[in-house]
Amino acid sequence: MPISSRVAMISGASRGIGASIAEKLLAEGWAVSLGLRNPDGSPFKTHANALTCRFDALDSESERTWLDETLHRFGRIDGLVLNAGMMIQKTVLEANDADFDLIFNVNVKSPMRLSQLTWPHLEKADAGRIVTIASLSGKRVKSAGSGLYAMSKFAAVALGHGLRQCGKENGVRSTIICPSYVATDMGNALANRESTELTQPDDIARIVHMVLELPKTASIAEIPVHFSVEDAY
């Protein structure tokens, strides 16, 4: 049944940044459709304004099904948050073809397909928005071990800019958020710091909410976010 709330699809909202974005948007009156590898285990399953759907970035059919289920339940899509992502900690000398294919499938190819699938519906919305959770590793390569991941996140940043260009005339706006370490399973495993020192997932969620609600005449291309201070990236 079509509803009056704005509707966002969020990939990878089982935990970490994606789950925080889902919580924030629900609290702000949005309806959310969550793409999850294990929808049955989601605490959002029973929320009145949340839909939990199976989505695996390695299964393109699951993207179509997720979109169909979202349209069936809500009848519209106003925002797409490309959040699901993975890290393989290998240098560009260590990475093999299988590593490259896996990380590009999850961090780049699936986000591109989801953008293509949802685009006609975002065009129909009054204020269609796409938010890509890329990384500061999409802006600079800070260590050898982040080399492969950085390649995929540079590509994710380019995807977000490509989408911006596509939306120039029709009002769909794309914003790329580039965090440094965030206190999630991924960030805590990588950062050599206390979790409390890192950017919190809720902080990223607040930023996502802001850019989703900005008018098309206040369009932000990229937002770099650091837990401390990084002079250049």
Ligand X SMILES: NC(=O)c1ccc[n+]([C@@H]2O[C@H](COP(=O)([O-])OP(=O)(O)OC[C@H]3O[C@@H](n4cnc5c(N)ncnc54)[C@H](OP(=O)(O)O)[C@@H]3O)[C@@H](O)[C@H]2O)c1
Residues that bind ligand X (CB under 6 A): 12, 14-18, 37-38, 55-58, 83-86, 106, 133, 135, 179, 181-182, 184-187
Q: How far apart are CA 4 and CA 119, in angstroms?
A: 20
State the nearest-atom distance from the C-beta of 49 to ligand X, in Å.
Answer: 19
State the nearest-atom distance from the C-beta of 1 to ligand X, in Å.
Answer: 27
Catalytic residue among 149, 154, 181, 227: 149
Q: Within a 10 A sphere around the Cβ of 73, how many other Cβ atoms? A: 16
Q: Closer to ligand X at the Cβ: 86 or 127?
A: 86
Q: Residue holding tokens 């990475």?
A: 95
Q: Closer to ligand X at the Cβ: 76 or 183?
A: 183
State the nearest-atom distance from the C-beta of 48 to ligand X, in Å.
Answer: 22
Alpha helices in 75-105 (DSSP H): 97-104
Q: How far apart are CA 39 and CA 41, in angstroms?
A: 5
Q: Closer to ligand X at the Cβ: 61 or 169?
A: 61
Q: How far apart are CA 161 and CA 232, in angstroms?
A: 20
Q: Closer to ligand X at the Cβ: 55 or 119?
A: 55
Let me know if 233 is a catalytic residue: no
In contact, 149 and 87? CB cutoff 8 Å: yes
Amino acid letter at 113? R
Phi, psi dihedral angles at 81 (to 5 degrees) = -110, 110
Amino acid letter at 94? E
Q: Closer to ligand X at the Cβ: 53 or 57?
A: 57
Q: How far apart are CA 192 and CA 183, in angstroms?
A: 11
State the nearest-atom distance from the C-beta of 72 to ligand X, in Å.
Answer: 21
Tokens, residue 9: 């699809």
Q: How far apart are CA 203 and CA 81, in angstroms?
A: 15
Q: How far apart are CA 130 and CA 143, in angstroms?
A: 29
In contact, 160 and 174? CB cutoff 8 Å: yes
State the nearest-atom distance from the C-beta of 216 to ligand X, in Å.
Answer: 25
Would you name the residues annotated as active-site residues?
Answer: 149
